[in-house]
Amino acid sequence: MHAESSGRTALVTASTGGIGEAIAVALAERGAKVVVNGRDPDVVADVAGRLGGHGVTADAGTAEGAAALIEQVPDADILVNNVGVYVTRPVFEITDAEWLHIYEVNVLSGVRLARHHVPRMAGRGWGRVIFVSSEAGVQTPVNMVHYGMTKSAQLAVSRGMAQEAAGTGVTVNCVLPGPTLSAGVRGMWDDLYPGLDPAEQERRFVSERRAAGSQLGRLIRPAEVANLVAYVASERSSATTGAALSVDGGLVPTIFP
């Protein structure tokens, strides 16, 4: 077991599956007291129990859910804003309601929690805030322009908050995963490539779709994203703030970010 986050309280939104759960596992392995969050109380209790953490059932993508999280977890040393939604839609068919909904979930969720926690972290002289953004924030997906917009917005929010927290001991950063393997992706593969084994499904998906530019030739694994988040959440990352940190397998064909 590593001890980079020993004794720290870490709140990870949407942490009952996928990248969020992998982050919760990685932080727990490094000694953090993890607060697991999700919308299904049974799943929240199961994951929290396995990690020896505390579970809070709340929809972090709503104002009411964020308020419930803040009420039950008024102080956290590490805040990982992971909750997010995405859907494919031609840009000129996205309704006002869809634009506003995806913005509220993907952007305002983190704003609401950081607005509460960062000043309190600063008062204690230490804190880590990590927004789980996406490579879609720097190369907008044509079939998910509204999703890309929210991921770009997270970069701006993170940078601005880092500047506001300058000199306080609190760092604010974004982590930018590329296409990542999840249960939902596996289900999509079964629809796209019925009858093929998972390795062949992944090969076909990578070669034919958005991940074709990956230098890995495969999708990212949630634990690989979690490893970077765990570093950024640790004492060792004290000189890293206001940054956009890629974990996209080289998918974005530029040097920065």
Taking the C-alpha atoms of 104, 182, 135 and 196 in order, what is their torsion angle to the nearest 10 degrees? Answer: -130
Distance, CA of 137 to CA of 244 (rounded, Å): 10
Cα(112)–Cα(18) distance, integer angstroms: 23
**Selected catalytic residue, list 103, 147, 193, 231:** 147
Question: Strand pairing of 33-38 and 9-12?
Answer: parallel
Task: Give the residue among 214, 145, 146 at the shortest CA–CA distance from 180.
Answer: 214
Query: Could you give phi then psi for residue 9, rounded to 5 degrees?
Result: -90, 125
147 in active site: yes
Contact at 8 Å (CB) between 170 and 127? yes
Structure token digits, residue 166: 């300058």
| Residue the block writes with tokens 């964020």 | 66
Active site positions, annotated: 147
